[in-house]
Amino acid sequence: VLIQCAGSEEKNERYLLLFPNVLLMLSASPRMSGFIYQGKLPTTGMTITKLEDSENHRNAFEISGSMIERILVSCNNQQDLQEWVDHLQKQTKVTSVGNPTIKPHSVPSHTVRTWCFSSFQTAGVASRG
């Protein structure tokens, strides 16, 4: 997927992983031998809005919320878009209710371009298993 923050044109390749209470973002290491932690977003209070195709983006949705900047996510195809929207909307509803017994979703990994959160802290590289 491609990610673009409100007011920014910068794009970077990223991988998203969805867990019960958080959306995690990773980048590939320079030699593609591992992953680098880029940050996380709490799913509580997150709003997911599917967007109509335009000349600026295709197969896109928006992530917004009181604790995060608005982010535009463009997926590789319509199926990826629908899967991400479905999983994220389901997850944000569950975390809003506060269900402690939820299990992680099996969401396919997708590439992401650009992630813009000033609160992200860079950590080390996690090797691929």
Q: Which residues pair with 5 in a beta bridge?
A: 71
63: domain CATH number is 2.30.29.30
126 in any annotated domain: no
Please tell me the predicted confidence (pLDDT) of residue 10.
78
Domain ranges, residue 77: 2-96+106-117
- What's the pTM value of the predicted model, to 2 decimals? 0.71
Q: Residue 128 falls within a domain, yes or no?
A: no
pLDDT along the chain (129 residues), means of 10: 78 85 89 90 92 92 88 91 95 66 42 37 36
Count of structural domains, the chain: 1
Q: What is the pLDDT of residue 94?
A: 74
Length of the chain: 129
Residue 13 and residue 113: Cα distance in Å, rounded? 4
Residue with tokens 């992680």: 104
Separation CA 66–CA 77 (nearest Å): 28
The answer to whether residue 125 is domain-embedded is no
